[in-house]
Amino acid sequence: MTRDKRNQRIREFFIEKTISASGIASVVIVVLIFVFLLKDGLSLFKIESIQDFLSGKLWYPISDPPKFGILPLILGSIVVTAGATAISVPIGVASAIYIAEVSSPRIKEYLKAGVELLAAIPSVVLGFIGVVTLVPFVKQFFNLPTGLTAFSGSIMLAFMAMPTIVSIAEDALTAVPRSYREGALALGATKWQTIYKVTVPSAASGIVAAVMLGVGRVIGETMAVMMITGNAAVIPKSIFQPVRTLTATIAAEMGETVRGSDHFYALFAIGIVLFLITFFINMIADLYLHREKR
């Protein structure tokens, strides 16, 4: 074996081991994060039952006695997430179809760069823009007492989720073999018939994965929703009223609670709930991605 080949094999060995170590480290870090949450979060359930914690309607952590019901927070997160999903999914998927199937190569290049640029905007900046522009508009347009509502949060989170949905869905559409399109056109289908009867169904797994990852981004967002949803820990009866989400509760109260107190443990328990929700969402998206590859 020559010296160059031996050096090449050594380099390949180290690169392979480095990649393997990085993968193992990622798994270990996730497990350690979950263990860290469990360590303090489970302490709450020594004084509060899981049922009361998940189904309680009152979140008054500093009252006497304290109330640690997170049902309003869960419903607030669901309302905001559902609203953002209803807005972002149709627009995001339609945009991905346009970029992948309709636009010219030159326009496609600019649009993809623009989508990636939107994804790079910090959430606190978007939240500030929402407070200054979106909140007053919602208040005036719908004649509401305040524009700090779940609807405002849904619009802003939809704007934040769309880059993820567009980027991944566009990659899934682009990955559909060219022969599928050529075969449909050869059989007499129009371009639009080929798109919605051949290309989109073939990329369905990737599109669903894009939607799930977008939803995961929405439900885990903190700063924007904390700034424009009103932060009212009440059970929402309408999308046009203030709500508080799980993430906003942790961000708003963690700096004010006493370490080792029941309130402190309750915030960690909320973290466990959030971790499980995002874990299952990402797991479902990953299953769809692997299904697409097969």
Per-residue model confidence as pLDDT tens digits over 39-69:
888 888 888 888 888 888 888 888 878 888 8
pLDDT in tens, 222-237: 888 888 888 888 888 8
Q: What is the mean pLDDT of the chain?
A: 85
pLDDT in tens, 162-184: 988 998 888 888 888 888 888 88
Q: Where do the structural domains in the chain lie, given as residue ranges?
A: 3-46, 51-293
For residue 137, what pLDDT band results from cuts at 50, 70 and 90? very high
- CB contact at 8 A, 226 and 32: no
pLDDT of 289: 63
State mean pLDDT over 24-53: 87
Handedness of CA 191, 192, 198, 200 (dihedral sign): positive
CATH of domain 51-293: 1.10.3720.10
How many C-beta atoms surround the C-beta of residue 234 within 10 A? 17
pLDDT of 91: 92
pTM: 0.83
Residue 292 pLDDT exceeds 60: no
State mean pLDDT over 98-109: 86
pLDDT of 5: 74
DSSP string computed for the chain: --HHHHHHHHHHHHHHHHHHHHHHHHHHHHHHHHHHHHHHHGGGGGTS-HHHHHH-S-EETTSSS-EE--HHHHHHHHHHHHHHHHHHHHHHHHHHHIIIIIS-HHHHHHHHHHHHHHHTS-HHHHHHHIIIIIHHHHHHHTT-S-S-SHHHHHHHHHHHHHHHHHHHHHHHHHTS-HHHHHHHHHTT--HHHHIIIIIHHHTHHHHHHHHHHHHHHHHT--HHHHHHSB---S--SSTTS-B--HHHHHHHHTTTSPTTSHHHHHHHHHHHHHHHHHHHHHHHHHHHHHHHH-
pLDDT in tens, 242-285: 999 988 898 888 888 888 888 899 999 999 998 888 888 777 76
- What percent of the chain is predicted at pLDDT more than 90? 13
